[in-house]
Amino acid sequence: MNLNLSLLLLLLFLGCDTKEEGGTTVKRPNIVLIIADDQGWGDLSISGNSNLSTPNIDALAQHGVSFENFYVQPVCSPTRAEILCGRQFQRLGVYATSAGGERLNLDETTIAEVFKKAGYQTAAYGKWHSGMQPPYHPNARGFDEFYGFASGHWGNYFDPLIEHNGELVKGKGFLADDLTNGALEFIIKNKEKPFFLYIPYNTPHSPMQVPDKYWDKFKDKKLTEKHRDTIIEDLNFTRAALAMVENIDDNVGRIINKLQELNLEENTIIVYLSDNGPNGWRWNAGMRGK
């Protein structure tokens, strides 16, 4: 990732332990890093897609900073490795998305390890995809708390078997909602401490499962923006992906609301991105690929 996002976040937090008049120490900012899985640039209403509405994600751009040029890798693990370490994936030992090619070299330092050393509480809720077992597991790479799945793909999003700090547990409800519930509990628990919260959502990656509340809105929807080659676009796949993105947007809204409720918003940096382009042929703001 040419922007070295993890290094940017570290510079932001390192520069915040300053003194105000009267000797009051400014608290280091909390960091919430949210990553969607297989969401395209065009899968947001702020990008010009009238097929869906994403007011909460849009607000992050409208009231913050939105990069016009921002590069990730074409598939999951390389992007995640670069986010975690601030270096190009070729230098990190990552060369594939499975068969061991997703594992970060053990001599690499992750952003979570740096924050933890600086006194931050650290947690990850979602899809890890950077090594399944210790010493590659998130609990061994700087995260005190992990809830989700460590592999690159999960076959069921409703009440699935997932893991909590290495132990198998049964999830509750739709996975993206469940991950957000855990993230909210972490925020509440650590409201008096600086925290680094990593939320790598599993959606809109397949399987294309989404709660009826979201699917019912899209199942008969006429799509106004489509891929330039309408023959190759699977419209129901597109509808499911957009429904999943609206679910993510609602969960982002829940996180923002909780930060506001706890008076943490002004001292929290929220970053939102996707790990790569869309997972199907659909409208993507003029870009050609998937």
Give tens-digit pLDDT for 55-82. 999 999 999 999 988 889 999 999 999 9
- 87-102 confidence digits (pLDDT tens): 999 999 999 899 999 9
Lowest mean pLDDT among 157-161, 203-207, 283-287: 283-287
> In whole angstroms, what is the distance from residue 142 CA to residue 139 CA?
6
pLDDT band at 6, cuts 50/70/90?
low
Q: CA–CA separation, 232 vs 290, rounded Å?
A: 12
- pLDDT value at 208 more than 60: yes
Question: What is the rounded radius of gyration, in angstroms, for the C-alpha atoms of the chain?
Answer: 19
pLDDT tens track for 122-170: 999 999 999 999 999 999 999 999 999 999 999 999 999 999 999 999 9
Q: What is the pLDDT of residue 27?
A: 82
> Measured on CA atoms in the order 184, 187, 189, 191, is the torsion positive or negative?
negative
Indicate whether 112 pLDDT > 60: yes
Q: Where are the domains of the chain?
A: 38-216+249-274
User: What percent of the chain is predicted at pLDDT more than 90?
Assistant: 85
- Can you give the pLDDT at residue 286? 87
**Model pTM score:** 0.93
Count of all residues that appear for the chain in the document:
290
The reported pLDDT for the residue numbered 288 is 84
pLDDT at 1 over 50: no
Instruction: Read off the pLDDT of residues 7-33 as tens digits, 9 standing for 90 and up.
Output: 566 655 555 554 455 556 668 999 999
Q: Is the pLDDT score of 215 beyond 60?
A: yes
Which residues share a beta bridge with 170? 161
Which of the two residues, 17 and 112, has the higher pLDDT score? Answer: 112
Distance CA 272, CA 222 (A): 28
How high is the pLDDT of residue 2? 45
Considering only residues 187 and 7, tell me which one the structure prediction assigns the higher pLDDT.
187
The listed CATH number (3.40.720.10, 3.40.250.10, 3.30.70.890, 3.40.190.150) that belongs to domain 38-216+249-274: 3.40.720.10
Q: With residue 237 as reference, give the H or E element that holds it.
A: helix 235-261
Q: Which residues are catalytic?
A: 76, 129
For residues 34-49, one letter each, b for 16 or more C-beta atoms within 10 angstroms of the residue's C-beta and e for the rest, the string is bbbbbbbebbbbebeb
DSSP 173: S
β pairing state of 121-127 and 30-36: unpaired
pLDDT digits (tens, 9 = 90+) for 238-274: 999 999 999 999 999 999 999 999 999 999 999 999 9
Order the strands of the 161-164 sheet from edge to edge: 167-170, 161-164, 145-149, 121-127, 195-200, 30-36, 268-274
